[in-house]
Amino acid sequence: MSPHVRRAAIAAAAATLVAGAVYGSAQAQEDTSQGPSVQQAETLRDAASASGRFVGTAVNDGRLYDGNYSSIVASEFSSVTAENVMKWDTVQPSQGNFNFSGGDRLVDFAQQNNQQVYGHTLVWHSQLPSWVSNGGFNAEQLNAVMENHITEVVSHYAGQVAYWDVVNEAFNDDGTLRQSVFQQTIGEEYIANAFRAADAADPNAKLCINDYSTDGINAKSNAMYDLVSSLLDQGVPIDCVGFQSHLILDQLPSDYQENLQRFSDLGLEVIVTELDIRIQDPADSSDLQRQAEQYQQVVSSCVAVSGCAGVTVWGISDADSWVPGTFPGYGAACPWDEYLQPKPAYDGILTGFGG
């Protein structure tokens, strides 16, 4: 397997802080002075860079023209992930018709602010257009559809996207393979086929498999470990494993760091890709302090594992979090509150990186 080395580019992106550089109008630039974190003497971005890692966030495309929001993204983070605009139903809503406008906006924003782009996601059972999920394709046809989608998307962003979540959420919680349309129609080889197609389209991008509830050593993470070991044995071009880390307050696995380490020991990068820590409503000051400590523990675990390339939080503000809509009765999961004010969690992340 040929190495996919972008460390120099990533380090350069993480090392350069362009304070107040925002996307859009002059009004947005005026608003940067109101962003609370722009006033900080040290940012998450500075601290992560000093540790040799990136710190990222998922970006809500609809908020990029909000000056306060975009100034925080620009100044605090060295990596950006598209929350939704690079997913299949947005990029190829009908067969052969590609829409890259949202993804292009994020790439433009990242280039203006010396950030890397983390591509999310190429093959996933969710947010698929019906022409894929209910298309009635046989194995050969669906494999061709999948490989064409990967080729078109990765080629479009070749040289502009540092990492790709190539296959997302391939497992059930018990460690069996999820019976997605790809698994049911093509079989397990769809995973290796997807990585090979992505590698052919951009040999310099780092290619990851990503999942949730794999944060500790359990049936699901053991299955992931066996799969990536097998892929490596087959010479499949896989570079990294993403641990989503959608956590619940006071339920951080005690073997979190040990789990990251065993994947790193395979010679792969490990990345915390979608970190948030949800709290049962209503969150009080004690909850927020414990949340900060647990954010710090996650980040410190990454810093302690030499192969951990970085940490991405899944969104900035509680106002934009996916948590309340998905887990009723829970919220307050992000590092900034609904008014874009930093919470104790912000300091926890900063401290975790050594800031």
Q: Which positions are catalytic? A: 169, 274
Residues 162, 163, 164, 170: what is their CA dihedral angle, to the nearest 10 degrees?
Answer: 180
User: To which H or E segment does residue 82 belong?
Assistant: strand 79-82
Non-local (6+) Cβ contacts of 282 within 8 A are none
| Angstrom distance (rounded) from CA 351 to CA 38 | 17
> What distance lies between CA 66 and its chain's CA centroid?
22
Angle at 164 between CA 44 and CA 236, to 5 degrees: 130
| Angstrom distance (rounded) from CA 48 to CA 321 | 23
Helix (H, G, I), strand (E, B) or coil at 239: coil
Closest CA to 210 of 161, 296, 269, 292: 269
Q: Are residues 188 and 236 in contact, defined by beta-carbon separation less than 8 angstroms?
A: no
Dmax over CA atoms of the chain, in Å, equals 57
Query: Count H helices, E strands: the chain?
Result: 15, 10
> What distance lies between CA 12 and its chain's CA centroid?
19
Phi-psi region of 25 (alpha: psi -120 to 50; beta: other; left: phi over 0): beta
Structure tokens at 100: 């890259």
Give the other-Cβ count within 10 Å of 290's Cβ.
Answer: 17
Q: Are residues 311 and 272 in contact, defined by beta-carbon separation less than 8 angstroms?
A: yes
What proportions of the chain, in percent to the nearest 5, are helix, strand and coil?
Answer: 45, 20, 40
- The β-bridge partners of 308 are 270
What are the residue ranges of helices labelled H in 61-138? 67-76, 88-91, 101-112, 130-133
